[in-house]
């Protein structure tokens, strides 16, 4: 039986070269698709990391801002007898220092008299104010509560809070914002996760102009804590998981204003300035 030329052409298959070219093109297309999928996944992970940092920073800043605005609050107990007309002054329930800070953290956040650590990479903040059932979340017994949810210990007839805010790494292995009180023997209670660093600058006023901050300095440079009327607060936040690689590192500005670049975790600093309501009068 003879095979015609037309039939022979129909029976010809794909050559080895054509097959190799097709396979190469297919592998290239698959590689491009995989790379695009990986970049999309990384982009989504980065967006989720920054959204998480934004949420955590907002909670932490709102909490600390509220506490700073309460610092120094004391109810009025009367008026002093004036030595002459118009010289009487309001008598308040306590005269404890509203705000105190340490550039390098505390030796112990549970100490009644705060001592600053000799070395540390994060600042810490101590606050005092008169607590009541309106400016705190009361306990089940309708008593003022501290940052741990415990009833505030009375000092005389005053419920005086003594809150200590600092950064510590907990059981999760991640750093966070913690609060402790000297009246309770716990190490501290985690409040917000992934707070890596706190930086504090304290606004001091002049004796002649006690309601306005004229300079912002670190805790070690404060000359008179009684003249601190504002606090500039910076939080360096980090992501829970690594989202950047060595080939694709990230940049951020830290709380000292220095541009940093690195792989792994996402980081971002958040800054706010809070005036102490009970000092700017």
pLDDT tens for each residue of 56-91: 999 999 999 999 999 999 887 766 666 555 555 666
Q: What separation in angstroms does the CA of 87 have from each of 74, 90, 206, 208? A: 20, 10, 22, 18
Query: Which of 10-24, 109-123, 133-147, 254-268 shows the lowest mean pLDDT across its residues?
Result: 10-24
So what's the pLDDT on residue 82? 63
So what's the pLDDT on residue 176? 96
Q: What is the DSSP letter of 191?
A: E
Residue numbers of the domain that contains 219: 44-73+92-275
Is position 141 within any domain? yes
So what's the pLDDT on residue 179? 95
pLDDT tens-place string over residues 199-237: 999 999 998 888 889 999 999 999 999 999 999 999 999
Is position 49 within any domain? yes
More confident residue, 236 or 278: 236
What's the pLDDT band for 276 if we cut at 50, 70, 90? very high
Percent of the chain predicted with pLDDT > 70: 83
What's the pLDDT band for 277 if we cut at 50, 70, 90? confident
More confident residue, 3 or 51: 51
Is position 5 within any domain? no
So what's the pLDDT on residue 88? 58
What's the pLDDT band for 280 if we cut at 50, 70, 90? low
So what's the pLDDT on residue 262? 85
Q: 216 near 228, Cβ under 8 Å? A: no
Q: Tell me: pLDDT of 7 over 60.
A: no
Q: Tell me: pLDDT of 133 over 80.
A: yes
Cα distance between residue 254 and residue 269, in whole Å: 6
Is position 38 within any domain? no
More confident residue, 250 or 196: 196
Stretch 257-271: mean pLDDT: 93
Q: Is 115 exposed, middle or buried (0-12, 13-18, 19+ CB in 10 A)?
A: exposed
So what's the pLDDT on residue 207? 85
Is position 99 within any domain? yes
Question: What is the tally of structural domains in the chain?
Answer: 1
Is position 8 within any domain? no
So what's the pLDDT on residue 124? 97
Is position 35 within any domain? no
So what's the pLDDT on residue 66? 96
**Taking the mean position of all CA atoms in its chain, how far away is CA 16?**
63
Q: What separation in angstroms does the CA of 188 have from each of 48, 151, 236, 252, 273? A: 29, 15, 20, 30, 25
Is position 14 within any domain? no
Mean pLDDT of the chain: 85
More confident residue, 66 or 112: 66
């Amino acid at each position: 039986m003879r095979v015609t030329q037309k039939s022979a052409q129909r029976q010809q298959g794909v050559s080895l070269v054509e097959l190799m070219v097709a396979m190469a093109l297919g592998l290239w297309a698959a590689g491009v698709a995989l790379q695009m999928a990986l970049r999309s996944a990384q982009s989504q992970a980065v967006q989720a990391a920054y959204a998480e940092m934004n949420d955590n920073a907002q909670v932490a800043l709102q909490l600390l801002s509220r506490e700073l605005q309460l610092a120094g609050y004391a109810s009025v107990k009367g008026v002093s007898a004036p030595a002459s007309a118009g010289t009487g002054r309001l008598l308040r329930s306590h005269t404890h220092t509203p705000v105190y800070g340490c550039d390098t953290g505390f030796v112990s956040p549970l100490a009644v008299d705060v001592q600053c650590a000799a070395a540390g990479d994060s600042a810490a903040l101590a606050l005092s104010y008169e607590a009541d059932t309106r400016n705190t979340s009361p306990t089940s017994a309708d008593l003022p509560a501290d940052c741990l949810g415990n009833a505030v210990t009375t000092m005389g007839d005053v419920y005086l809070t003594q809150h200590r805010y600092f950064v510590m790494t907990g059981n999760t292995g991640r750093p966070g914002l913690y609060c402790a009180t000297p009246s309770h023997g716990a190490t501290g209670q985690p409040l917000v996760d992934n707070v890596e660093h706190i930086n504090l600058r304290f606004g001091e006023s002049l004796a002649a102009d006690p309601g306005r901050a004229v300079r912002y300095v670190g805790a070690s440079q404060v000359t008179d804590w009684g003249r601190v009327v504002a606090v500039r607060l910076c939080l360096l936040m980090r992501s829970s998981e690594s989202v950047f690689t060595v080939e694709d590192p990230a940049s951020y500005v830290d709380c000292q204003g220095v541009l940093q670049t690195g792989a792994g975790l996402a980081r971002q600093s958040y800054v706010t300035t809070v005036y102490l309501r009970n000092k700017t009068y």
